[in-house]
Structure 1
Amino acid sequence: MSTVPLDPPAKKRRRPALACEQCRRRKVRCDRASPCNHCSKSSTLEQCTYVPIHVPKQKRALPPGPATTVGPVSILPAPAPTPPHSQCSTGNFLPVPTSSSTPVTVSESGVSDVHALGQRFEGVALATGQTSSSTSERIVGQAIEAVNTTDSIPKTRYYGRSHWMNGLSLLPAGFENLVNPKSTTSNLHSLLSQCKILGRRIKESRLQSTSSTNPLDVPRSTADSFLEHYVSNFEPVFPILHIPSFKADYDRYWNDPNQVSTVFRVQLQLVLALGSCLFDDTFTFRNRASRWVNEAQLWLLTPPEKSRMTIPGIQIMILLTLARSVCGAGQDTVWVLTGLLLRTAMYMGLHRDPSKIGDGEMTVFRAEMRRRLWLSILELNLQSAYDAGGAPLISSDDYDTLPPADLDDNSLTNEPGDSTLGGRADGGSTRLSAALALAHSLPLRLKILRHANDFRARDSYSETLRLNSELVQACHQLSKTLERLSCSPSRAITQFYASLAELLAYRCFHTLHQPVIMRLMSDPKYYFSQKMYIDGALKIAHISGLDWAQGTNENNETRPSPMTALHTKDIAANERLSPSNDNRNDAQTSGNNTKTLQMPCSPASSLMVPECS
């Protein structure tokens, strides 16, 4: 009887290690995050690293073809926990940090995906003998594109075409140093990881002290300074409160805190939080302001929700939205809160003009306060959508509320009067004049934001040029109006109001031209968009008080934002990546033949608000 040789037992494949190297060394359970829970709480701030997932050799072989051809490469997902109820959808996605109050940055899981894909592209490039400089730009560009189109990354967020993250493709070398943990030219990745760990600890310490509204723990002299900073800097552009009534309740609070309602205490905390950010250059009251903002957020979420649908309740929602943006307390998710604010206001009928509600016999005070609140809601909704790269979710056809009248707060009375004063002025300039001058461009800026973030708009450059022409005219008119108001005898409009209003308008040039600026690499006709992009950045730098010649601040009225300065410098440096001068001249000649490309004046050199003698 012959024996049939048995097949050798199949070699068992070793299970890949999913825990990080640090947890495996400590022999503790790892949650597979990046960084994991134990590494985040480690006092040594060591990095959380994972062993690369093993891939069989036959799966890593290059596809047949010419030596210069690179086949499709799939992204190896970084070890990360998958939420039990997570859902994935197709779109332009990148992961977000766990904490809602973390500034908008490239998250750890997104960094791992880009790095893994970059390593595989780099290996292929070295095999084909390509140069290191061209390989670096191609690696990061293809990595960003691949991550943006991935639809299976957990903890995702949709970044619209106008989001600043999409501008990273303009800086391939800098982005590679930021996301590559093994970079030999920079330690940015290590510093970024340490900053994130420290940031999470700071936020945890702030949340531990959050409770219901507590008495103020600042002396009245400091609170008076906070209140004055708020009234002088925020109310002229975002009219929210009736200042005489608020100051009367403010005095009653200091006489006896029990004489005022909880609603006023929440309003007061938010007002002081906003004023504290301008108290000094270092924002020494940041922790206290964050606690006040968190307490207001907690109060807003407590039931019943219908009790918040009042004028004081909507004022708290507006103040909370503004405070989260200014104080850095979860500003990356303000667009979500603004959506709730917008729908709550529409549920209360603020989108309808007071003259068309009921019998039209609303008092001047109520009618004008409703118009002011709606104007502030529209502006905040627009600015948060710009920051988030999202659609405004409203158009000028969805409301008929008139702009508020240019009246002082003392002119608003509770006596029955003419409720159709909206849009009319008393002949002079008031504290509200800057907001009204900016409000004229609201419909246009809504159109620009909707056009820039329309994912169906692929070949609509003619519409971009048309909107650019209208935006240049609107900015020119805004600057002329602000110049006239700032030089009026009443001097109700200061340089700060004018600069803030111009800043909110000029940022639209970045939103409008960012989706098409990268096409310049293949088609020189888009050079006009890059020119407007750079001119807008230089104008914003000028408004922020950034002196390019000396690198110092000329005045103390405004401080240049670090992110604004960084973006401006990077955009100007990107001029090196433009096509040849001959192609630029051809593009400009083509633009001169089109009337929509004609600019009345350059945004970088004119439309300034001069100082009045």
Structure 2
Amino acid sequence: MREVKTCDRCRHFKRRCDLVKPSCTRCVQAGVRCSFDVAGTTAPGSDGSTAPSSVLTNNTVGYARVPTSGSINSSASPSNPTMQTPGSMLVTRDTSASSPAGGPSPASSVSQNHGGVAVNGLISPTTTVESPEPNQVITTDSTPAQNSTEDTASNQEGQRIVRKRKRNCLSCLRCHRLKVKCDKELPCGRCKSSGNGRECYYSYNKGPNGGKFPCPTAPAGGPIDPDSKKPQLAPWQITHKVRGSSHWRELMARSPLAKILEGVATNACLANFSLPGNFPFGTPGATKYYARDTITRLISGEKDNVEEYLGRYVDMLDVVNPVLDLSTFQEEVHRYWQDPNAVGLCWLAQFLMVLGLGCFTSGTDPPIAIEFMMAAEACIMQTPFMFRPTISTIRAFTLMVVAKQICNATCWAMDSSYTLMGHLVRLAFILGLPQERNDNDEELRDPVEKEIRRKLWLTILYLDIKVSMCTGMPPLTRPEELGGLKNMPHWRAPDSLQMVLYQGLPVVLNILAQMNSKRDPISYPDVLRYNAQLRELMGHANRVCQAPLQRITIDIFFRRCLMVMHRPFALHADGPTMFPESYWSSLECSLALLFHYRELWDPETPQPLDLVGRPFVLDIFSATLTTCVHMLRQDAPLSEAAATGCLIPPRQLILETLVSCVDIWAGEQEKSVCWRTGYHILKALMVILDAPGAKAESPEAGQTQ
């Protein structure tokens, strides 16, 4: 512990001491005895041992020192009744006041007469009444009053009243706690530089005006509204006031939508993951398949169902996300049955993912499908995929992205898919998929191999854009990534989807690049130009795509892009009049997504087409909310014929469509917490819209669900 060098008084009042001995300058100016004057404190005083003697006389500048005990004050010696202090304060000693009865001292009289007077400056929280600042005047009568012993006791009680300072703390809480200078900004410079800008608050002491003191940086003056009787508070007092947990708990309890979040834990979504959240990296269930013989036995046990699994995958999943070259893949499967140990681990991982996805499309979520995917992870982790990927490695990871979207019906599945897509895109760059190789390249002399690489890269871009629009994140690729395809491909059926993607993805990437740009935001004329291009692509895709699932999914994709592009203008306060094209396009695309939603979740279909629609669940939820926003507008011109090129049904038909879609959500709410939360939100909106058949649920009913 370091040595204390300052005098007692300067240390008590937290003032800088100049260390001058025998008395520092501040003590000399205040006219009090300094603790450095050791010689004066040892003077004997036997005849006046029961009464204090330091009093103020003749209105002399200075303060009285009130001792805490009955010992003689060191400011005067017994042999010298009167002495002149360095601060020109006259200190007298009245020997008649010193008696065994303990008569009152003049200092006690001073405390009694001025006990209710507020003294400027910092007041010590002890029995002393002196000021930390020099040259402060307190006047009193020098004649001591003769009182009884009871009065003396009451005076001593009055001396021990603790006085607190009334100054307002203008520094922020952090600077005040650290005892450093604050620039009184919001946030202040110290909090901002230390990374605590969000925790910079100002809190003032309670005063006569209820503790509502103006902000130190707020402009001086009266209330903003001259007609208002009550002055307006500064904005920071409203937005930055420190609130406790009870305040926010009570505030959230007032919202009727808060009931949907009751009983939902932070990681409740993890309970509904068929696949682990970090798949395909570090899943504990994959460790048992690191032995090649275990994988061989797993596939051999399902040999009778392999053809069925392959057919289900091709008919439902590969048709909307083309990954495999089917003719080549069939030959590779035939070679595998001849010698299971002859194929590489990369191709085996791809084969296992195809089997797992085909098995999962049976509609019953069999556990064997997850086992196939765990085995695929074990295979891929034993390959040098980080620095030496192959075309089979890229396909395996692409299938893993598809699996995360259809196997986990939660919002977190899409977030984890975006992370995995970043890894997949970088592996594609390492392999050189975006670049066109020279015709003399030995690796790509085969034109069939060139076409396979082109189609796979288009599928990766397609998945990247779908995941980025769904999660609200920027895409991982740029419009220039398609510039490597120099020659226009001449693809026809069954490759019509790749041809549509080749023509449409550059337009979509340009739109997303401008939507995510803060420097050059998209303008309304550009929106109209892109709107015409996308609608032309939608018509072209509807004509050339033969598979119904291809037409549905590509239409959802383009309409979702239109919704993202039109949203800032469609939801404007004056959107119907200022931006009519955006207003009607947003509503029309939202309704089209709801129609596709009912088509994919139709229980009469022989195949579980809802698995195809699972990657678009958040898009459909966004379309439902957008439709509700349009319906809740008081000035919604839904009955007008102002829609240019958009067929808008009447209001009652829109409400019936919303109710039917909410009923579909009701059947899916038990699959995950995300579905259940979305259902309760939509159910509450139906009550607000007064939709047919919608009724408010009691809080108990919401909790039981």
Aligned residue for 2:494, secondary structure, equals: coil
**Partners of 1:376 and 1:342 in 2: how far apart?**
11
Q: Which residue, out of 582, 594, 597, partners 1:529?
A: 582
Superposition deviation, residue 200 in structure 1: 7.7
**Partners of 1:554 and 1:200 in 2: how far apart?**
26
Superposition deviation, residue 266 in structure 1: 0.9
Structure 1 residue identity aligned to 2:498: A
Q: Which residue, out of 472, 490, 495, partners 1:424?
A: 490
**Partners of 2:551 and 2:531 in 1: how far apart?**
22
Q: Which residue, out of 578, 582, 601, partners 2:633?
A: 578
**Partners of 1:297 and 1:224 in 2: how far apart?**
22
Q: Which residue, out of 262, 270, 274, partners 1:190?
A: 262
1:165-199, Cα deviation, whole Å (9 max, x unpaired)? xxxxxxxxxxxxxxx46756763111433881762
**Partners of 2:649 and 2:439 in 1: how far apart?**
43
- In the superposition, relative to structure 1, how do residues 356 and 520 fare at CA in structure 2: closer, same or farther (>3 Å)? farther
> Residue 7 in 1 paired to residue 125 in 2?
yes
Superposition deviation, residue 312 in structure 1: 1.6
Task: Tell me the residue number matched to 1:284.
Answer: 365
> Residue 466 in 1 paired to residue 532 in 2?
no
Contact 2:531/2:562 (CA < 8 Å) preserved in 1? yes
Q: Which residue, out of 309, 314, 317, partners 2:394?
A: 314
**Partners of 2:500 and 2:273 in 1: how far apart?**
43
Superposition deviation, residue 75 in structure 1: 6.5
Q: Which runs of 5+ in 2 are unaligned?
A: 1-51, 53-64, 69-123, 127-161, 165-200, 215-222, 651-705
**Partners of 1:75 and 1:223 in 2: how far apart?**
62
- In the superposition, relative to structure 1, how do residues 314 and 563 fare at CA in structure 2: closer, same or farther (>3 Å)? closer
- In the superposition, relative to structure 1, how do residues 258 and 199 fare at CA in structure 2: closer, same or farther (>3 Å)? same
The aligned runs of 1:516-555 (5 Å cut-off) are 516-520=569-573, 524-546=577-599, 555=605
1:356-380, Cα deviation, whole Å (9 max, x unpaired)? 5637971122212111222212212
The aligned runs of 1:155-194 (5 Å cut-off) are 180=252, 183=255, 187-193=259-265
**Partners of 2:381 and 2:559 in 1: how far apart?**
35
Task: Tell me the residue number matched to 1:503.
Answer: 556
Task: Tell me the residue number matched to 1:331.
Answer: 414
Contact 1:236/1:435 (CA < 8 Å) preserved in 2? no
- In the superposition, relative to structure 1, how do residues 78 and 346 fare at CA in structure 2: closer, same or farther (>3 Å)? farther
**Partners of 1:441 and 1:201 in 2: how far apart?**
33
Aligned residue for 1:454, secondary structure, equals: coil
- In the superposition, relative to structure 1, how do residues 574 and 261 fare at CA in structure 2: closer, same or farther (>3 Å)? same
Q: Which residue, out of 258, 270, 285, partners 1:209?
A: 285
Aligned length: 426
Contact 1:438/1:505 (CA < 8 Å) preserved in 2? no
Aligned residue for 2:573, secondary structure, equals: helix
- In the superposition, relative to structure 1, how do residues 580 and 294 fare at CA in structure 2: closer, same or farther (>3 Å)? same
**Partners of 1:556 and 1:69 in 2: how far apart?**
66
Task: Tell me the residue number matched to 1:380.
Answer: 463
Structure 2 residue identity aligned to 1:436: M
- In the superposition, relative to structure 1, how do residues 603 and 434 fare at CA in structure 2: closer, same or farther (>3 Å)? farther
> Residue 225 in 1 paired to residue 308 in 2?
yes
Aligned residue for 1:519, secondary structure, equals: coil
Structure 2 residue identity aligned to 1:347: I
**Partners of 1:221 and 1:436 in 2: how far apart?**
36
- In the superposition, relative to structure 1, how do residues 276 and 513 fare at CA in structure 2: closer, same or farther (>3 Å)? farther
> Residue 362 in 1 paired to residue 445 in 2?
yes
**Partners of 1:77 and 1:324 in 2: how far apart?**
42
**Partners of 1:333 and 1:450 in 2: how far apart?**
22
1:262-306, Cα deviation, whole Å (9 max, x unpaired)? 2222112211232233211xx423x55455545545655567345
Aligned residue for 1:544, secondary structure, equals: helix
Superposition deviation, residue 535 in structure 1: 1.0
Aligned residue for 1:505, secondary structure, equals: helix
Structure 1 residue identity aligned to 2:631: R
Contact 1:351/1:401 (CA < 8 Å) preserved in 2? yes
Superposition deviation, residue 432 in structure 1: 1.8
- In the superposition, relative to structure 1, how do residues 198 and 383 fare at CA in structure 2: closer, same or farther (>3 Å)? closer
Pick which of 535-544 and 195-204 moved more.
195-204
Aligned residue for 1:430, secondary structure, equals: coil
Structure 1 residue identity aligned to 2:464: N
Aligned residue for 1:440, secondary structure, equals: helix
Structure 1 residue identity aligned to 2:259: N
**Partners of 1:441 and 1:469 in 2: how far apart?**
12
The aligned runs of 1:41-52 (5 Å cut-off) are none
Task: Tell me the residue number matched to 2:138.
Answer: none
Pick which of 318-327 and 210-219 moved more.
210-219
Aligned residue for 1:7, secondary structure, equals: coil
Superposition deviation, residue 253 in structure 1: 4.1
Contact 2:274/2:370 (CA < 8 Å) preserved in 1? no
- In the superposition, relative to structure 1, how do residues 10 and 526 fare at CA in structure 2: closer, same or farther (>3 Å)? farther
**Partners of 1:364 and 1:390 in 2: how far apart?**
36
Structure 1 residue identity aligned to 2:318: E
**Partners of 1:535 and 1:441 in 2: how far apart?**
20
1:109-158, Cα deviation, whole Å (9 max, x unpaired)? xxx9xx97696xx6xxxxxxxxxxxxxxxxxxxxxxxxxxxxxxxxxxxx
- In the superposition, relative to structure 1, how do residues 447 and 298 fare at CA in structure 2: closer, same or farther (>3 Å)? farther
- In the superposition, relative to structure 1, how do residues 270 and 303 fare at CA in structure 2: closer, same or farther (>3 Å)? closer
Structure 2 residue identity aligned to 1:210: A
The aligned runs of 1:14-413 (5 Å cut-off) are 61=212, 71-72=235-236, 73-74=238-239, 180=252, 183=255, 187-193=259-265, 196=268, 199=271, 207-211=283-287, 212-213=289-290, 214-215=294-295, 216=298, 219-254=302-337, 257-280=340-363, 283-285=364-366, 288-290=368-370, 292-293=372-373, 296-297=376-377, 300=380, 304-305=384-385, 308-328=388-408, 330-354=413-437, 358=441, 362-402=445-485
